[in-house]
Structure 1
Amino acid sequence: MRPHTPVGIVSAALWLPHGRDTAADAVAEGRLEARVARDLGHRHLPVAEDVSAPDMAVRAASEALGRSEAVAGDLALLCHAWMYYQGHDLWSPPHYIADQLGAHAALPVGVRQICNGGAAALELAVGRMSLETGVRYALVTTADRFVPPGFDRWRSDYGAAYGDAGTAVLLRQPAAASDALLLRSLHSAAAPQLEGMHRGNDPFARLPRDVSPVVDMRRTKRTYLREHGTDDFQKINRDMIRHVLRRALQDAGVRPDDPRIRLAVLPRLGAKVLNADWIPVLSALLPVPMADWGTDTGHLGTGDLAAGLHDVLHGEVLRPGEIAVLLNAGAGFTWTCAVVEATRR
C-alpha cells in the first residue's frame, strides 16, 4: 500500500517501565534455562510493577503529542492494539485512552492481531486517513503487560521473551515539511493456514485460561509441529518475509539495491530466531545493516514496529533522504513491512 496523499510520521514514543527482570536472575532462580537464555540473547526485560497496559499507552501517547504541535483535540482517529489482558473484561481500552488524553473528537478503534497488531493498526489508520478528507491527525498506540501467573514472560513462547511497554505513533495526512519521517509504503500479507500453531488440539474453551492456567504457546506449537513438521512453516515464513519486503519496496518505488536504504529494523525476537530465519533472508535481498534493537527490551507484544520507528527517529540513524525498512510478524500468521524516509534531522 502506497498512500496516495503523503503521510507524515510526526513523532513516535516508546514508554518503558523502570522495573527490570534480568536473564541472569531468571536463570539463577530456575525460571529460565541457561541454554534458552543464550538463544534469546535478551539481557533483561522491562517490567511494569504498578502501571496498567492502557496507562502505558496513555503515557506514550502523551509523549508523542508533546513532541508535536498537535493536541489531543486534533485527533480524528485513535487505533489501539494489544495482545494480552488490558485489565478489564468487557471493556474498550481505546476509548479509555482517548478519554484520558482528552481526544474526545477521535474515533477510538481496537485492533487484535497478536504480535502484528501494532503494524495492522498503523495500516488501518493510514487507510482510513486516505478515505476521509477530514482526517488530518491519527494516533496509533500499543501496550501490553505480561503479568504472572497467567503469562510467563520468559517461558510462555519459543524464540521470544516478552517485555512490558507502551508505544505511540502520531500520523499526519497530508504530510508537512516539519514531519521527521515520511511513510513511503506499508505492505502486509497473511498465511491463515498457520493459525493452528497457537491453537494446537485444544478445544474451544468457555473462558480465558480454562484449558491451561498459563498462556503456553510452546505447548500448542509442539502439537502443531508434531503433526505438520517444521519445513512448511519455515518455507512460508521465509517466503512471506521476502514477499512483504519486495512489495513494500516496489510500492515505495525503491529498488533493493538503492543506496538510500540505510538499514533494516528487525522484530524484537530472540537472537537464535533472527539469525536462523530473518537475517539470512533479508541479507540476501538488502545489502544493509540489520538492526536488532530488542536486546534490552525483549519482544514488546504488539509494539515492536512502533518501537522501531521510535528508535529510528531518536537514534538519528537516517540523514535527510535516507530510508529505513521495518519488518514485523505475528501469530495467525501475518507479516508486515514498512518503508520510511527521513525528511529532516
Structure 2
Amino acid sequence: MRWNDIYVAGLGAHLPQQEHTVEQAVAEGRCDAEEARANGIRAVRVAGPDETGPVMAAAAGRQAVARAGLPDGDYGLVLHACMGHQGQDFWTPAHYVQQETVGGTGMAVEIRQGSNGGLTGVELAAAHLAGRGRPGAALVTTGDAFRMPYFDRWGSDSQQAYGDGAGALVLSSRGGFARLRSTASLSDSSLEPVYRGATGWTDAPFADGSPVDLGARKEAYLLRDEGGYDRVIRQLTKNASEVLQTALDDADASLSDARFFVHANIAESIVRFSFHEQLGVDPATTTYDWGRDYGHMGAGDQIIGIDHVVEARSPQSGDLLVTMGVGVGFMWTVAVLEFLETPQW
C-alpha cells in the first residue's frame, strides 16, 4: 500500500537495566554452549518485578508522545502489540497503555501477531489515519517480559534468545520527521501449524506447569514427513521475497536505495540465510550487531530498532529505511520510511 501524508512523529523505547549475558546463561545451564555460539546473541535485558510488558510499553509510549508534541486529542487509536503474558489474565493491556499515555476515548486494541505485532500495528494505524476525515494520530506500542516458569527466554524456542523491552511509535497525518512511503503485508495460513505443533490442545495457559516449548512444537510439525522442513523453508523464503518487493515497488524504491534495514534480533544463522543470502540485504545497513546485545524482544524488535537508528545512526533527509517483520501464523509486514529531517531529540 502506497501512503500519502502519513508520518512518523515520535519514537520511544524502554529497555530494562539488568543484563543477562549468554556466558551467564551457559554457566547456569540455561543455554547449550554450542547453540549459544550458533545463535550469535551476546546478551538480553531482563525486566524487574514491576516492569511488565504494559508498564514498559507505557514508558516507551510516553517518550514517543512527548517527542511527537501532538495534542492528546489527536490520538484516536492506541494499538498495543505483545507476545507473552502481560501481567494479568482476562484483562486488556491496551487500555492500560492508553490510560498511562494519551488517555481519551479513542479505540484501544491489543494485537497478538507474534514477532510481527509491532509492524502489523503500524500498517493498521496508517489505514486508520488515512480513513479519517480530519488530522489525527495513532500510538503503536509493544511490550514483553519473558519470565520463568512460564517462558524460558533461553530454552523455550530453538535458536532464539528472548529479551525484555518495549517500543513505541506515533503516526500522524499532521506531519513528522519521516514519511511512511509504503507498507505491505502477506499472510500464509498454510504455515499456521508450525507453531501450533502436533501435540494437541490445552485447557488453559501453563496447564502442565512446564515452560512453553516452541522448539518441540516446531520439530513435531516440521519432521512429520520427509521433506517437510525444506518445503516450509522454501515457502517462507518465497513469501518474504514477495512482500518485500511489493513494499519496495509501492514506495518507488529498490533495496539498494535503503541506507537502513531493520529486522528481528534472531539467530545469526537465520539472519545470514534469510536476509543476506536470500533477500540480498547488505549487513552494513542493518541494526543486527546492536541487536545482539538485546535479543529478540517479542513484537518490538523493529520499532525499537528504528528508535536506535534515529538515536545512534544519524539519519539524514532523503535516507530510506526498510523494516521487515514475520510472525507466527504466518504473516509478514514490510514498511518503507523516508526521513525528512533528523529529529532534535
Question: What's the TM-score once normalised by structure 1's chain length?
Answer: 0.93
Structure 1: unaligned runs, 5 residues or longer: none
- Give the fraction of aligned pairs with identical amino acids, expressed as a percent: 33
1:159 aligns with 2:156: no
**Given the alignment, which residue of 250, 264, 269 partners 1:267?**
264
Corresponding residue number in structure 2 for 1:241:
240
Compared with structure 1, are the counterparts of its residues 167 and 239 closer, same or farther at alpha carbon in structure 2 (3 Å cutoff)? same
Corresponding residue number in structure 1 for 2:186:
189
Compared with structure 1, are the counterparts of its residues 57 and 72 closer, same or farther at alpha carbon in structure 2 (3 Å cutoff)? farther
1:252 aligns with 2:251: yes
* Secondary structure of the structure 2 residue equivalent to 1:312: helix
Cα contact 1:10–1:180 (8 A) shared by 2:
yes
Question: RMSD of the TM alignment (CA)?
Answer: 1.7
1:11 aligns with 2:5: no
**What pairs with 1:17-28 in structure 2 (closer than 5 Å)?**
17-28=16-27
Partners of 2:168 and 2:327 lie apart in 1 by 19
* Secondary structure of the structure 2 residue equivalent to 1:108: strand
Q: Residue by residue, what CA displacement relative to the aligned partner does 1:152-197 show, whole Å, maximum 9, x if unpaired?
A: 00111122211111110011014x2xx2211111111111111111
Shift of 1:52: 1.3
Q: Residue by residue, what CA displacement relative to the aligned partner does 1:205-229 show, whole Å, maximum 9, x if unpaired?
A: 1111225621110010110111142
Corresponding residue number in structure 2 for 1:94:
94
Partners of 1:290 and 1:169 lie apart in 2 by 19
Corresponding residue number in structure 1 for 2:333:
336
Partners of 2:200 and 2:186 lie apart in 1 by 28
Greater CA drift, 235-244 or 142-151: 235-244
Cα contact 1:279–1:290 (8 A) shared by 2:
no
Partners of 2:208 and 2:191 lie apart in 1 by 21
**What pairs with 1:285-300 in structure 2 (closer than 5 Å)?**
289-292=285-288, 293-300=290-297
* Secondary structure of the structure 2 residue equivalent to 1:230: helix
* Secondary structure of the structure 2 residue equivalent to 1:162: coil
Q: Residue by residue, what CA displacement relative to the aligned partner does 1:98-131 show, whole Å, maximum 9, x if unpaired?
A: 1122422321111111111111111111111111
* Structure 1 outlier segments of 4+, above 6 Å: 285-288
1:142 aligns with 2:139: no
Partners of 2:45 and 2:169 lie apart in 1 by 20
Partners of 1:286 and 1:48 lie apart in 2 by 32
Partners of 1:187 and 1:212 lie apart in 2 by 39
Greater CA drift, 183-192 or 314-323: 314-323
Greater CA drift, 133-142 or 65-74: 65-74
1:82 aligns with 2:79: no
Corresponding residue number in structure 1 for 2:230:
231
* Secondary structure of the structure 2 residue equivalent to 1:116: helix
Question: What's the TM-score once normalised by structure 2's chain length?
Answer: 0.93
**Given the alignment, which residue of 183, 197, 202 partners 2:199?**
202
Partners of 2:255 and 2:31 lie apart in 1 by 39
Cα contact 1:256–1:286 (8 A) shared by 2:
no
1:325 aligns with 2:322: yes
Greater CA drift, 202-211 or 235-244: 202-211
Partners of 1:86 and 1:118 lie apart in 2 by 15
**Given the alignment, which residue of 200, 208, 217 partners 2:214?**
217
Greater CA drift, 263-272 or 40-49: 263-272
Greater CA drift, 35-44 or 136-145: 35-44
Partners of 1:294 and 1:13 lie apart in 2 by 16
* Secondary structure of the structure 2 residue equivalent to 1:227: coil
